[in-house]
A and B are shown apart, each in its own frame.
Chain A
């Protein structure tokens, strides 16, 4: 049997067909990098973010103009020194000194303006970047969960990071572009003003350069992008190799992966060198053009000088200026790409900022305080997509202190019901009441204080265990935290960790087991000290030891609290004061265990299948139970 290593020896494609193998992601970028160069909406919205810095930006523009002015003035003063003070046989020592002082003054101004423009533009652009990010982040805290549900986190992160940076770059370069433009215009005017014949002749290189840049730019951009992409793919493959190293070793894929990785590294090498070629080709191009311009100045200008129709200083002025054309032209042609990128990024950013906030506090929203902890649904109809109601005309009431279990097949609307108590979404019809108030009339903040939730996936933040259990209640004392941890049986394992409660959690609590994470999220719910406790499949996915701990803790947890529980373990369900059975978004049965068993409906049919947990029942059997097909069930 051929091992992977043998196959690699024969060459990756050497076997009868190419392997089912790749390293790293093969996915193309799905986000548009470049948009139109100008997008009115984006510019207008972006303008809004600049308003607070209007005065500073105006100062910056003046500084840019001032700086450009001094840039133009420096060669002129030098020229003037050559032609007036150092004129042949007509030296003027005093004038030279004066002009030197003038030059010193111009240089000082140049320093001042340069400093002002750089510091203002740099800092304002940086602030705008942080402002944009903050605005977007704050908005994401309030937009409806349905938007968050359908948007990948990675995508939002790239808006919060990459896209804001593109706008920052745009702002920064735009201000300097004004300076570049003025500088080119200024140089043109100066050259023509001093000698229009030589000026026009020298300036012929400019359109040539522009033309070359315009032809070169899109190709070069493609090459640069290609280099960047190949490099990010290569690094993606490297990251994958490190993250998946256990699987790689377990499957003995080292040889194949190294060969595939080598292909990527090779592609990257070629792409990088291609990018370099494109970048470097501009150097001899610009040098050739500079050479032409200088040759023109020397030969033609020199002839003019010989004819005494041109002063030497002007020639020096030309020589000093001719080298300075190229930078601003390069910057200006780049500006076009930057604008395209900024518009595409801006569009994505404002798309996020324009997502309407569906669930909003009313102006006169009341603050819930010390409610009795009752929950009531009155004829609630709700769905995520139009025309597809998930809950239909659901009504029930949970009395203070009561524990109610929701039961039903997958997709029956259990989790949706839980989300509505917390007003994650607004109902289409009917009312959700918490503590006797419609949730729409309460502030979301105070609603959050009344309800604590434990979700199926325990989600922890990086930070210490203590911080995670406190979470939002920063004022909670250490004693409260320890007490909560004891109550859920987490104290013991926490104390075994190297730093106890001060142990830093890795990302998403990676250094704890799933069960331990869930125990911590239970403790977090206790510290939140809310009247209503919502458990959304909180004990699914954990091992039976941890579950045992939680089972024991549940009774204490639910003391003096209203409990809403979705659970799969029959033990938990049976212990509830009342059971509500949902199917296809409607309540079909309601009552305590004994009542429901006596009724002989879906619940009793499912229960009598003798599974320890409803989740263990195969779909077919559930379907059969729903249809009431006794033959199939037994």
Chain B
């Protein structure tokens, strides 16, 4: 269908100069021949005029149909590719997303899909159109007059060659310019976002120099590109008009010599004007092919990826009886280009309903990684994690993630209402459920005070939340899923101790019947835990209750001293250290809360 409209459109395009030339020849013939019947010629002109009109309309309609169909097919293919890409992105594991740049994925998801899409509507159909036009035109002209035909077409190779080479140069230059512009964007964006730092260090002049440097580089490239483009387009026009001069000259002589008629000459000229555009597009086509090839390769590279973490073929939904989570000699290391870096080594523990496990350790000790293993954001590299005896790698991923709630350290705010953000994991939740979760997370009162209540927009373009508010929202969000296992991944660091205490009290009911893991560097968040693991460099160094660990006098004890005693000057101020607080802040808050 699309192909037939293309062919018809091309035929009508070729017909028009034929008709024009014919009309002129009729007129010339008449003037040439004294005996000709004026009315006959008039009738013929009238018919030609009508045919011309009809051909023009038909050309327009079929060109439109040809373009529209091409576009439509392209858009539908784009549709499929986009959905496939999006699904793939959502399924790829953490380890993939950690290593791939978001910008790169966006380029593929936007530009490469566009590239492949354009290939269908421009490249495929347009190439057919061009082939018919140029082929048919060449045939018609050469049949009429070989020499003149060749001269008329002499501009074609020039223009095509220039179009191809210049396009290649332009494409390269364009990419460089894009890169330079994105550096410029980054410089400007960083400067404006960090304007306080810039001012604080009186860095305006320095920043201005930096800006000028990258701006000048971008400008130089932009200038060069304009040069290439202009030299190129003007040359193509010139080549074309030069051919026109030659046709007039040679053709005129041929008319004088009686070899051809004046109308035929007109026909040649009209042909040339019609062929001018398609020939320019020819260069674009060639590039389109080249570009599509790269785009297509880059795109399918991603679509063919297989997520590392996925369901086994015979995976069943997870079955929860008791609700016991066990780490059995778990090892974990990131396998990547930096080599085999051991993050966790032989970690074993058991979390049963009503029990709280606290995990503490210095930054980089592997605490967060541990949290990410339970919902299988990563898979263990040694040992196993079981839930009620089932290895989590043997159950359906979705069912596993449904029972495991990880309250993330820094959760992502989607640009949407607070309500939608809280209900992110359970979009069909009732309003009461949402309010209960926010109340438990101590967020409800704050939301109530917002101008638009639960409909207030948050995220990139909405109300900006403080770190503590984000973390409370993150808690509420996880509570919505009613998980059987709750893991707080350093998710209260930005919440003040008193509020944290209130959250803990509100969650009592839930935590009493579930296994809870609290990861934190703030001891007041986890010293109430039934068992505390002190982790360093991926290994459990100490374990036991708060009292046991304090009595042990090891790493945990030192950390406790550091956090509760007022810093290292305590040594110098031993006298005042005596009256410094000896109990934790949260205990005090608990008392205060009780009052």
Q: Which of A88, A134, A252 contacts B425 (CB 8 A)?
A: A252
Q: Cβ of A306: which chain B residues have Cβ within 8 Å of it?
A: 27, 30-31, 38, 41-42, 45
Q: Which of A141, A302, A320 contacts B269 (CB 8 A)?
A: A320
Number of residues of chain B lying within 8 A (CB) of chain A: 170
In Å, the complex CA distance between A449 and B205 comes to 12
Q: Are B50 and A295 in contact (CB under 8 A)?
A: yes
Q: Are A81 and B581 in contact (CB under 8 A)?
A: no
Q: Are B102 and A298 in contact (CB under 8 A)?
A: no
Q: What is the CB-to-nearest-CB distance from A498 to chain B, in angstroms, rounded to a whole number?
A: 7
Of the A-B pairs whose beta carbons lie under 8 Å apart in the complex, a sample of 24, sorted by A's number, is: A5-B398, A7-B427, A78-B248, A104-B242, A114-B237, A118-B233, A138-B208, A141-B207, A161-B185, A241-B90, A242-B89, A243-B412, A247-B411, A254-B90, A257-B90, A272-B75, A276-B68, A276-B72, A284-B60, A291-B52, A516-B363, A552-B568, A574-B573, A611-B588
**Which residue on B lies nearest to A105, using beta carbons?**
B245
Q: Are B194 and A461 in contact (CB under 8 A)?
A: yes
Among residues 89 to 130 in chain A, which have CB atoms less than 8 Å away from a CB atom of chain B? 89, 91, 93, 96-97, 99-100, 103-104, 107-108, 110-111, 114-115, 118-119, 122-123, 126-127, 130
Q: Are A284 and B588 in contact (CB under 8 A)?
A: no
Q: Which of B142-150, B161-169, B249-257, B343-351 contacts A (4 or more CB under 8 A)?
A: B249-257
B521 at the interface (CB under 8 A from A): yes
Among residues 145 to 184 in chain B, which have CB atoms less than 8 Å away from a CB atom of chain A? none
Q: What is the CB-to-nearest-CB distance from A621 to chain B, in angstroms, rounded to a whole number?
A: 6
Q: Are B338 and A498 in contact (CB under 8 A)?
A: yes
Q: Are A472 and B234 in contact (CB under 8 A)?
A: no
Known interface pairs A286-B60, A298-B49, A316-B24. Does A103 touch B245 (Cβ–Cβ under 8 Å)?
yes
In Å, the complex CA distance between A459 and B190 comes to 9
Q: Which of B94, B189, B231, B420 contacts A115 (CB 8 A)?
A: B231
Q: Which of B386-394, B491-499, B508-516, B542-550 contacts A (4 or more CB under 8 A)?
A: B491-499
Q: Cβ of A290: which chain B residues have Cβ within 8 Å of it?
A: 56
Known interface pairs A248-B90, A323-B273, A453-B201. Does A22 touch B192 (Cβ–Cβ under 8 Å)?
no
Among residues 1 to 36 in chain B, which have CB atoms less than 8 Å away from a CB atom of chain A? 16, 20, 23-24, 26-28, 30-32
Q: Are B202 and A449 in contact (CB under 8 A)?
A: yes
Q: Are A245 and B423 in contact (CB under 8 A)?
A: no
Contact with A along B410-429 (1 / 0, CB 8 A): 01101111011001111111
A193 at the interface (CB under 8 A from B): no
B292 at the interface (CB under 8 A from A): no
Q: Cβ of A157: which chain B residues have Cβ within 8 Å of it?
A: 185, 188-189, 192
Q: Are A461 and B190 in contact (CB under 8 A)?
A: yes
Known interface pairs A235-B110, A269-B79. Does A126 touch B589 (Cβ–Cβ under 8 Å)?
no
In Å, the complex CA distance between A471 and B570 comes to 35
Contact with A along B556-595 (1 / 0, CB 8 A): 0001001110111110010010001101010011001000
Q: Which of B52, B205, B229 contacts A295 (CB 8 A)?
A: B52
Q: Are B86 and A258 in contact (CB under 8 A)?
A: yes
Q: Are B592 and A621 in contact (CB under 8 A)?
A: yes
Interface size class of A (residues with CB under 8 A): 35 or more
Q: Which of B189, B222, B234, B592 contacts A153 (CB 8 A)?
A: B189
A176 at the interface (CB under 8 A from B): no
User: Would you list the 6 A-B pairs with minimal beta carbon distance, nearest first?
Assistant: A448-B202, A291-B56, A287-B60, A571-B567, A284-B60, A19-B427
A507 at the interface (CB under 8 A from B): yes
Q: Are A134 and B566 in contact (CB under 8 A)?
A: no
Contact with A along B185-228 (1 / 0, CB 8 A): 11011111111111111111111100110010011001100110
In Å, the complex CA distance between A323 and B52 comes to 14
Known interface pairs A543-B363, A544-B562. Does A269 touch B233 (Cβ–Cβ under 8 Å)?
no
Q: Are A459 and B86 in contact (CB under 8 A)?
A: no
Q: Which of A133, A269, A312, A447 contacts B76 (CB 8 A)?
A: A269
Q: What is the CB-to-nearest-CB distance from A26 to chain B, in angstroms, rounded to a whole number?
A: 7
A462 at the interface (CB under 8 A from B): yes
Q: Are A160 and B188 in contact (CB under 8 A)?
A: yes
In Å, the complex CA distance between A544 and B265 comes to 89
Q: What is the CB-to-nearest-CB distance from B178 to chain A, in angstroms, rounded to a whole number?
A: 13
Q: What is the CB-to-nearest-CB distance from B153 to chain A, in angstroms, rounded to a whole number?
A: 18
B438 at the interface (CB under 8 A from A): no
B127 at the interface (CB under 8 A from A): no
Q: What is the CB-to-nearest-CB distance from A176 to chain B, in angstroms, rounded to a whole number?
A: 13
Q: Are B215 and A93 in contact (CB under 8 A)?
A: no
B275 at the interface (CB under 8 A from A): no
Q: Which of B79, B199, B249, B434 contacts A265 (CB 8 A)?
A: B79
Q: Cβ of A320: which chain B residues have Cβ within 8 Å of it?
A: 269-270, 273
**Which residue on B lies nearest to A25, using beta carbons?**
B415
Among residues 273 to 307 in chain A, which have CB atoms less than 8 Å away from a CB atom of chain B? 273, 276-277, 280-281, 283-288, 290-292, 294-296, 298-299, 302-303, 305-306
In Å, the complex CA distance between A611 and B222 comes to 60
Q: Are A299 and B76 in contact (CB under 8 A)?
A: no
Q: Cβ of A546: which chain B residues have Cβ within 8 Å of it?
A: 363
Q: What is the CB-to-nearest-CB distance from A522 to chain B, in angstroms, rounded to a whole number?
A: 13
Q: Which of B282-290, B324-332, B400-408, B526-534 contacts A (4 or more CB under 8 A)?
A: B400-408
Among residues 360 to 390 in chain A, which have CB atoms less than 8 Å away from a CB atom of chain B? none
Among residues 304 to 351 in chain A, which have CB atoms less than 8 Å away from a CB atom of chain B? 305-306, 308, 312, 315-316, 319-320, 323
B377 at the interface (CB under 8 A from A): yes
B97 at the interface (CB under 8 A from A): yes
Known interface pairs A253-B425, A299-B45, A544-B563. Does A247 touch B412 (Cβ–Cβ under 8 Å)?
yes
In Å, the complex CA distance between A277 and B110 comes to 23
Q: Are A27 and B195 in contact (CB under 8 A)?
A: no
B366 at the interface (CB under 8 A from A): no
Q: Which of B24, B82, B567 contacts A569 (CB 8 A)?
A: B567
Known: A114-B238, A471-B201. 4 other contacts (CB 8 A): A114-B237, A251-B401, A298-B23, A323-B273
Q: Which of A20, A111, A273, A472 contacts B238 (CB 8 A)?
A: A111
**Which residue on A lies nearest to B434, using beta carbons?**
A20
Q: Are A118 and B52 in contact (CB under 8 A)?
A: no
B551 at the interface (CB under 8 A from A): no
Q: Are A21 and B423 in contact (CB under 8 A)?
A: yes
Q: What is the CB-to-nearest-CB distance from B566 to chain A, in angstroms, rounded to a whole number?
A: 4
Q: Cβ of A107: which chain B residues have Cβ within 8 Å of it?
A: 238, 241-242, 244-245
A626 at the interface (CB under 8 A from B): no
Q: Are B192 and A140 in contact (CB under 8 A)?
A: yes
Q: Cβ of B412: which chain A residues have Cβ within 8 Å of it?
A: 243-244, 246-247
Q: Which of A39-47, A178-186, A482-490, A612-620 contacts B (4 or more CB under 8 A)?
A: A612-620
Q: Which of A19, A244, A615 contacts B496 (CB 8 A)?
A: A615
Q: Are A118 and B585 in contact (CB under 8 A)?
A: no
Q: Are B428 and A618 in contact (CB under 8 A)?
A: no
Contact with B along A21-39 (1 / 0, CB 8 A): 1111111000000000000
Q: Cβ of A406: which chain B residues have Cβ within 8 Å of it?
A: none
In Å, the complex CA distance between A15 and B423 comes to 15
**Which residue on B lies nearest to A2, using beta carbons?**
B428
A474 at the interface (CB under 8 A from B): yes
Q: Are A96 and B252 in contact (CB under 8 A)?
A: yes
In Å, the complex CA distance between A1 and B10 comes to 61
Q: Cβ of A462: which chain B residues have Cβ within 8 Å of it?
A: 186, 190
In Å, the complex CA distance between A64 and B416 comes to 51
In Å, the complex CA distance between A524 and B206 comes to 15
**Which residue on B lies nearest to A450, using beta carbons?**
B202
In Å, the complex CA distance between A103 and B102 comes to 57
Contact with A along B56-86 (1 / 0, CB 8 A): 1101110110011001100110110011011
In Å, the complex CA distance between A250 and B377 comes to 8
Q: Which of B56, B110, B200 contacts A287 (CB 8 A)?
A: B56
A358 at the interface (CB under 8 A from B): no
A466 at the interface (CB under 8 A from B): no
Q: Which of A97, A242, A256, A315 contacts B24 (CB 8 A)?
A: A315
Known interface pairs A27-B415, A459-B197. Does A618 touch B226 (Cβ–Cβ under 8 Å)?
no
A212 at the interface (CB under 8 A from B): no
Q: Are A26 and B230 in contact (CB under 8 A)?
A: no
B54 at the interface (CB under 8 A from A): yes
Known interface pairs A21-B427, A284-B60, A306-B30. Does A266 touch B79 (Cβ–Cβ under 8 Å)?
yes
